[in-house]
């Protein structure tokens, strides 16, 4: 009985997946490129200022190492970005994302090209004149707030996202600007020292193991009473 229990414990035990969270913080706002809205007749307007930064985090399962323009979708657990005014979250049905990442030799995100959009109102399919916000990250982070979408279609590869704004108009209700080049922090890929597997049991494994331990305890008690 003891040998059987040990063998089943070895079979049932499994490592935790090496999920990694990569965090992003941009540099300071470039005041020379910052243009805040002058009127607010349409959409949800907002001002940006030099105390703001673009921030974000991406959580993934292990990414393949040394990749260029990798589609992160198959590995993605979640993402959240904040441009100082608007939050772009993978859990938000109004958010659209077209993006790729480059990884280093350890599977860490080294750089990102991302175009994250959020429709301010309405539901899919959106149409011309609907308002939206946009955060583009490619070295520097560019924010586009309360833009007029004049053409809705499908994003570029690799995601080919439908209901994506593909043509924009900047008007007096819109704000635009740029943050300095961002820094990536944290996040350990599968080859990095910080990513360590910890043995654990699945939910079913724990149930089976508990049952077997109870059976073993009953068996030992019976032997003692003989």
Residue with tokens 């590869």: 157
Q: How many angstroms separate the CA atoms of 59 and 169, rounded?
A: 33
Pure H helices in 93-225: 203-225
Instruction: Outline where DSSP puts E strands in the chain.
Output: 13-15, 20-25, 55-60, 76-82, 87-89, 95-103, 109-119, 130-138, 141-153, 164-169, 175-179, 183-185, 199-201
In this prediction, residue 199 carries a pLDDT of 46
In this prediction, residue 191 carries a pLDDT of 44
Nearest Cα to 34, choosing from 171, 125, 142, 163? Answer: 142
Cβ atoms 20, 58 nearer than 8 A: no
Distances in Å between the alpha carbon of 223 and those of 41, 61, 92, 170, 216? Answer: 85, 48, 60, 83, 11
In this prediction, residue 58 carries a pLDDT of 96
- What are the sequence ranges of the domains in the chain? 2-11+199-225, 17-185
In this prediction, residue 38 carries a pLDDT of 97
pTM of the model: 0.76
Each residue's pLDDT, cut to its tens digit, for the chain (226 residues) gives: 555 444 444 444 444 457 899 999 999 999 999 999 999 999 999 999 999 999 999 999 999 999 999 999 999 999 999 999 999 999 999 999 999 999 999 999 999 999 999 999 999 999 999 999 999 998 889 999 999 999 999 999 999 999 999 999 999 999 999 999 877 665 544 444 333 344 444 555 556 656 656 666 656 566 655 5
Asked if the peptide bond before residue 112 counts as cis, ω within 30 degrees of 0, the response is no
């Amino acid at each position: 009985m003891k040998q059987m229990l040990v063998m089943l414990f070895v079979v049932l035990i499994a490592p935790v997946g090496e999920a990694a969270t990569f965090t992003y913080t941009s540099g300071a706002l470039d005041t020379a490129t910052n243009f805040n809205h002058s009127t607010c007749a349409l959409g949800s307007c907002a001002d940006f200022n030099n105390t703001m930064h673009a921030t974000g985090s991406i959580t993934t399962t292990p990414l393949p190492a040394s990749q260029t323009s990798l589609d992160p979708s198959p590995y993605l657990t979640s993402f959240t970005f904040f441009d100082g005014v608007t939050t772009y979250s993978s859990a938000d049905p109004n958010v659209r994302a077209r993006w790729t990442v480059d990884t280093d030799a350890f599977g860490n995100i080294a750089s990102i090209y991302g175009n994250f959009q959020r429709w301010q109102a309405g539901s899919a399919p959106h149409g011309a004149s609907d308002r939206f916000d946009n955060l583009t990250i490619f070295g520097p982070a560019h924010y586009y707030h309360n833009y007029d979408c004049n053409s809705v279609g499908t994003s570029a590869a690799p995601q080919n996202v439908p209901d994506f704004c593909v043509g924009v108009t900047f008007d007096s209700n819109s704000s635009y600007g740029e943050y300095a080049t961002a820094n990536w922090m944290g996040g350990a890929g599968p080859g990095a020292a910080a990513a360590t597997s910890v043995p654990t049991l699945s939910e079913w494994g724990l149930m089976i193991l508990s049952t077997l331990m109870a059976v073993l305890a009953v068996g030992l008690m019976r032997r003692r009473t003989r």
